[in-house]
Structure 1
């Protein structure tokens, strides 16, 4: 595992739980507004020792409810299944943050019951993803991810960062219509959907730091569109911390 960062305690990253956060290095997307730009390229090899991380989390298990695996894109890590298996031996709840591009990895994690919560960053309408990544067949990969999560029994959060100069209200409408196609289980899918406010303080493309976030009034307009398309009220605005 290429572990580039470690936060021993967080009250924000796993809803309702006290969690540690493990940051993996490397991503197959190049989102210009990424707020962890240092994790995109894969790093310089200055990583945490995996055994140290496992040991530290084991020592803190009486103070933690769970562990968040984020990045970067965690599903790129070849050792992810083994790493999560070892965390599960300590009875940690596991939350995975993902861009949804590797459904084959997600399927294995679900099959082996290694994750309890997934937060999926759904970034743009599926037809526009080639603006962010060169991953082949990305649209079909996203559809497979949505299908897997919709049929799973774990908690699923989907979030979209609303980026000025890149997105419009129509993009939010398209995204939520795409997600609504998978709302076919007894419980609503996703369990929660968030529109996140854009923050340009530290981003991959410095040009985006000059953009002004949408006003709260405009975000509220986008929120109403999302609620209509998902046919539910459980859609919220979230500050992108």
Structure 2
């Protein structure tokens, strides 16, 4: 990881969906090592030398929103890519904000270092861990993801586990098996996110999308495994 100020690729001044139950601003950290075909933020994948948006300037904007917002969410890209993340979290918390984190579960050690600093984590599980490279394009990514999931569950932090479902990447049998494995690990809050073809950079995946997937029976089967479960089709995409 690099030192210095947080490298920020984007900023949303207001969101009611990125941290459940909280009004938040979202800071998009630049850089991600994975290349998921359905990624809707490919412009955030590359890691530049300098920040497109200065963190100091964003911090001034956040200071002006104290009392109007509840939280700041660090998203990406992959926010744990950046060595400056703990310091940026401290800056935002010093203003009185709760802290949310979106992570694709890429770097177990880096994630463990920031879990004590956050109030809530939204994390992605993209596939059965043994089949992860088919989604991310990176060998060994399933081992990294599994270690991150275990770290989050062991930390006791409030969380939401979510999976974007596409019939090619996650056919019914694989989706059922993955959900059962997550439940066995101790995941209690699980969200399925329906695939959106709009904005998807992989045209083959977009063409293979199946409206209505997963079907009602598959949703019911998975819902019985978790204490809290929902299907999200509101434009949020992992």
TM-score w.r.t. the length of structure 2 is 0.89
Task: Provide the residue aligned with 1:30 in structure 2.
Answer: 35
> Structure 1 residues 213, 94: closer, same or farther in 2, change over 3 A?
farther
Q: Which of 114, 128, 139 is equivalent to 2:117?
A: 114
Give the 3-state SS of the residue equivalent to 2:118 in structure 1.
coil
Change (3 A) 1:31 1:81: same
CA distance in 1, matches of 2:50, 2:103: 22
Structure 1: 4+ residue segments shifted above 4 A: 43-46
**2:123 partner SS:** strand
Q: Deviations over 1:67-86 (max 9, x none)?
A: 11111111111211111111
**What is the root-mean-square deviation in Å for CA atoms of aligned residues?**
2.0
Residue 105 of structure 1 is matched in structure 2 by 110
- 1-structure distance, mates of 2:121, 2:139: 23
Which residue does 1:155 correspond to in 2?
Answer: 158
Q: Secondary structure of the equivalent of 1:132?
A: helix
For residue 101 of structure 1, give the secondary structure of its aligned residue in structure 2: coil
Q: What is the rounded CA distance, in whole Å, between the counterparts of 1:145 and 1:46 in structure 2?
A: 27
Residue 94 of structure 1 and its aligned partner are, at CA, apart by 0.9
Q: Is the 8 A contact 2:29 2:77 kept in 1?
A: yes
TM-aligned CA deviation for residue 6 of structure 1: 0.6
Deviations 1:138-188, CA, capped at 9 Å, x for gaps: 3332232222221222211011111132221112112112212322xxxxx
Aligned counterparts of 2:50 and 2:93: Cα–Cα separation in 1? 27
Partner of 2:196: 199
Cross-structure match for 1:221: 217
Q: CA deviation at 1:135?
A: 4.8
1:2-58 CA-partner distances (Å, limit 9, x unpaired): 211111111111111110011111111111111112212336956101100111112
Residue range with higher mean Cα deviation, 92-101 or 136-145:
136-145
Inter-partner Cα distance in structure 1 for 2:176 and 2:21: 29
2:79 is aligned, of 71, 74, 79, to: 74
Give the counterpart of 2:98 among 93, 98, 123: 93
Q: Which runs of 5+ in 2 are unaligned?
A: 1-5
Number of aligned residue pairs: 230
2:146 matches 1:140? no
Q: Aligned equivalents of 2:217 and 2:118: distance in 1?
A: 34
Question: Structure 1 length as normaliser, TM-score?
Answer: 0.88
Tell whether the 8 Å contact from 2:135 to 2:169 is kept in structure 1 after alignment.
no
> Tell me, what secondary structure is at the counterpart of 1:91?
coil
